[in-house]
């Protein structure tokens, strides 16, 4: 206990260093800009800026990525409130009440409520991050090769069902990713597999290039296929960015409820901020002191949605950091960032690398404060950025994708791989397959393969070893849950969206 | 059932066949795991084919081209060609020259006002020079012609 408290304290001391603070602020500001641009998503932003964190110490890099993540989730609400176009799917419910407030000349109040609720949602989610992450990590310490095999299967079953219109297509995407993960050297036999004569593929497909291609380059192609839209002018607001003490009191129970909802959804693999915002909004409506204001511009509605989507951020980091199971696309990308820094998600993050992990946690707390400050001070400016034309985004994001993938190994082949994955990502999105499942399979594939093959070597080829411990059976049970949970999640999301009447508000980007 | 799903199924079977053929060069011990994954992919794809047949019987067949609603082929393929040309050009003349050319050509094609083209190009070049060349110390491609 004392050791943990000391690690927490040290984490804050390190996180408060000028360099970490500066990068955290930059990451948060970039995240808000990405979030408020309706053509870009949080996952895309994190993937795009991942290469810039390579030269940083691991904790600083992770703080920057955390800042982009939180900033983007909040930033989506700016466009949702001012131009009725959610910057990210996580702000779709915010647009319902937020834009009504704007029409009533209360855009300043709506933006303040959004920022204030996002801050509390994110900050409170850090509590569960501090509390649950070390507990789960202790459990993961008991894992051997068979458990790691099942864990990777669990991760795949979860993500395969997320955000694709058919579960079978999701699973096919996962299997396709697993096959791609076999490119490179065989981990046991040392044989070269499917390298197409390219020695640069010796260590397999570079995950970061695949991430940039699947999430960022594919978005460029999506933007390029449609008529460039002239976005609505962001509403100019003259009212104060503030709420009264009574309004703050009114919002407190809503924020607390949304925190619990968002946090649970974040921890549950397979669900993300886009589900949380609608659930938070509906619950706010259900328990509202002024339900008659819903649909006409309710600050409780804005708070319910925004606190819930930001509460997802801390929660979703728990399974990713402790078990290596990212619950959604953004955490899959963040996990890629962690692996690139030479770190493996799991118990080691809380033992050998504990100082780094607790510095990241402290940085994540600080990011919430920075988000509040930057969000409130800069929202007038960010509102103007949200009008930036897709025509400018297309070549700009392309250049960043190219330079980002080149910077990893200073190898032109990586750029080509990124481009190939960009085209695959575009097709995947068009034909209802699942990009997140492919990425996750690329990350988890080698872990699962090593787990399976080491287990079989240990048992002399007897597959019974994969069913030999109670933990294996728990994980098998979780795999079954993983396959079935997306069915419930999609039903839950549909119900929430229908209840909120949000069918007509669609974000321009996928998660 | 969507007609476009036939393409998805064909692609998945094609990938399985390609990897299977390539795997025949591997020694037998190294073949097992990739073959297992190929089998899983082939089984899942076959299950999807069965689902498609049932869906076709129950709900009929749609084109599946709704996903391409509002698709502007000229704009899309010109931009894609510019991006591919950008990669080729970068290999030949280096990063900065090809980036200026891509930014200007693409923004002109997408009818962005001149002042915005100038600002965007300078902003991107400045950002990359600051972040990648100065901060990360990445040596960006200089191009075959200038080596």
- Spatial contact of A326 and A316, defined as CB atoms under 8 Å apart: yes
Contact at CB, B107 and A395, closer than 8 angstroms: yes
Looking at residue A509, what is its pLDDT? 56
DSSP B2: B
- Spatial contact of A466 and A472, defined as CB atoms under 8 Å apart: yes
DSSP B113: -
**Closest alpha carbon to A121 in A163, A77, A60, A62:** A77
Burial of A304 (0-12, 13-18, 19+ CB in 10 A): buried
For residues A121 and A74, what is the distance between their CA atoms, to the nearest angstrom? 10
Among the partner residues A220, A392, A398, nearest to B112 by beta-carbon distance: A392
Using pLDDT thresholds of 50, 70 and 90, give the confidence band for residue A449.
confident
Question: Taking the CA atoms of chain B, what radius of gyration do you get in angstroms?
Answer: 23
Degrees to nearest 5, angle at CA A68 with A62 and A72: 150
Distance in Å, alpha carbon of B143 to nearest chain A alpha carbon = 11
- Spatial contact of A85 and A91, defined as CB atoms under 8 Å apart: no
For A79-97, the pLDDT digits (tens) are: 888 887 788 888 888 988 8
Query: Could you say which residues from 19 to 38 on chain A have a Cβ atom under 8 Å away from some Cβ of chain B?
Result: none
Is the pLDDT at A508 greater than 60? The verdict is no
Q: Which residue has the higher pLDDT, A494 or A342?
A: A342
Which residues are CB-contacts of A320 (< 8 A; sequence separation ≥ 6)? Answer: A326, A327, A331, A334, A335, A338, A345
Q: Does A430 touch chain B (CB under 8 A)?
A: yes
Contact at CB, A391 and B102, closer than 8 angstroms: no
Distance in Å, alpha carbon of A286 to nearest chain B alpha carbon = 35
Q: Which residue has the higher pLDDT, A278 or B67?
A: A278
Among the partner residues B41, B95, B132, nearest to A176 by beta-carbon distance: B41
Looking at residue A167, what is its pLDDT? 79
Is the pLDDT at A203 greater than 80? The verdict is yes
For B87-134, the pLDDT digits (tens) are: 999 989 999 999 999 999 999 999 999 999 999 999 999 989 988 888
Is the pLDDT at A164 greater than 70? The verdict is no
For A410-436, the pLDDT digits (tens) are: 888 889 999 999 999 999 988 888 888
Contacts of B105-110 with C-beta under 8 Å, sequence gap 24+, read B106/A394, B106/A395, B106/A398, B106/B79, B106/B82, B107/A391, B107/A392, B107/A395, B109/B78, B109/B79, B109/B82, B110/A228, B110/A391, B110/A394, B110/B75, B110/B79
Weakest-pLDDT range from A185-199, A214-228, A393-407, B110-124? A185-199
Degrees to nearest 5, angle at CA A104 with A262 and A274: 20
- Spatial contact of A329 and A90, defined as CB atoms under 8 Å apart: no
Using pLDDT thresholds of 50, 70 and 90, give the confidence band for residue A159.
low
Q: Does A52 touch chain B (CB under 8 A)?
A: yes
Distance in Å, alpha carbon of B71 to nearest chain A alpha carbon = 5
Q: Does B71 touch chain A (CB under 8 A)?
A: yes
Is the pLDDT at A277 greater than 60? The verdict is yes
For residue B44, what is the nearest residue in chain A, using CA coordinates?
A172
């Amino acid at each position: 206990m004392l050791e943990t408290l000391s690690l927490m304290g040290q984490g804050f001391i390190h996180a408060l260093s000028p360099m970490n603070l500066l990068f955290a602020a930059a990451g948060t500001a970039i995240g808000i800009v990405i979030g408020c641009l309706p053509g870009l998503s949080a996952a895309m932003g994190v993937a795009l800026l991942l290469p810039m964190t390579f030269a940083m110490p691991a904790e600083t890099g992770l703080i920057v990525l955390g800042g982009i993540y939180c900033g983007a989730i909040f930033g989506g609400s700016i466009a949702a409130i001012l131009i009725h176009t959610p910057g990210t799917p996580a702000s779709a419910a915010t647009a319902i009440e937020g834009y009504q407030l704007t029409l009533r000349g209360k855009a300043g109040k709506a933006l303040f409520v959004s920022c204030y609720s996002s801050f509390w949602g994110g900050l409170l989610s850090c509590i569960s991050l501090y509390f649950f992450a070390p507990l789960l990590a202790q459990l993961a310490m008991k894992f051997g090769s068979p458990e790691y095999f099942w864990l990777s299967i669990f991760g795949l079953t979860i993500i395969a069902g997320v955000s694709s219109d058919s579960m079978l297509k999701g699973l096919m995407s996962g299997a396709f990713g697993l096959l791609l993960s076999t490119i490179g050297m065989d981990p046991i036999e040392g044989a070269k597999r499917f390298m197409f004569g390219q020695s640069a593929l010796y260590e397999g497909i570079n995950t970061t290039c695949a991430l940039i291609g699947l999430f960022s380059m594919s978005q460029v192609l999506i933007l390029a296929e449609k008529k460039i839209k002239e976005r609505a002018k962001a509403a100019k607001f003259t009212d104060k960015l503030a709420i009264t003490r009574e309004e703050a009191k009114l919002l407190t129970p809503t924020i607390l409820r949304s925190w619990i909802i968002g946090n649970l959804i974040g921890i549950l693999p397979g669900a993300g901020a886009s589900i949380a915002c609608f659930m938070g909004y509906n619950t706010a409506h259900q328990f509202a002191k002024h339900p008659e204001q819903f649909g006409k511009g309710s600050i409780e509605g804005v708070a319910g949605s925004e606190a819930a989507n930001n509460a997802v951020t801390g929660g979703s980091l728990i399974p990713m950091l402790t078990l290596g199971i990212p619950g959604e696309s953004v955490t899959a990308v963040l996990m890629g960032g962690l692996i690139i820094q030479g770190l493996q998600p799991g118990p080691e993050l809380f033992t050998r690398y504990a100082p780094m992990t607790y510095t990241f946690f402290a940085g994540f707390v600080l990011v919430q404060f920075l988000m509040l400050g930057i969000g409130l001070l800069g929202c007038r400016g960010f509102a103007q950025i949200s009008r930036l034309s897709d025509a400018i985004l297309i070549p700009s994001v392309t250049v960043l994708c190219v330079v980002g993938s080149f910077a990893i190994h200073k190898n032109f082949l990586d750029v080509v791989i990124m481009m190939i994955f960009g085209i695959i990502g575009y097709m995947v999105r068009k034909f209802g397959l699942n990009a997140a499942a492919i990425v996750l399979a690329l990350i988890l594939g080698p872990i699962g393969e090593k787990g399976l093959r080491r287990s079989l070597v240990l048992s002399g080829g007897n597959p019974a070893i994969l069913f030999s411990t109670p933990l294996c059976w728990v994980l098998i049970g979780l795999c079954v849950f993983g396959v079935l949970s997306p069915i419930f999640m999609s039903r839950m999301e549909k119900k929430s969206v229908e209840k909120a009447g949000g069918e007509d508000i669609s974000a321009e980007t996928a998660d | 059932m969507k007609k476009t799903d036939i393409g998805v199924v064909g692609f998945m079977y094609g990938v399985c066949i390609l990897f299977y053929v390539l795997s025949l060069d591997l020694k037998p011990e190294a073949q097992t795991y990739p073959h297992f994954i190929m089998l899983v992919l082939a089984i899942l794809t076959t299950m999807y084919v069965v689902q498609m047949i049932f869906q076709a019987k129950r709900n009929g067949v749609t084109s599946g081209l709704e996903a391409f609603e509002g698709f502007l082929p000229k704009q899309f393929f010109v931009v894609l060609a510019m991006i591919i040309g950008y990669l080729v050009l970068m290999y030949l003349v280096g990063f900065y020259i090809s980036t200026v050319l891509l930014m200007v050509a693409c923004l002109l094609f997408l009818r962005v006002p001149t002042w915005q083209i100038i600002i965007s190009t300078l902003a991107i070049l400045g950002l990359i020079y600051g972040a990648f060349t100065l901060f990360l110390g990445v040596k960006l491609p200089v191009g075959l012609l200038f080596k």
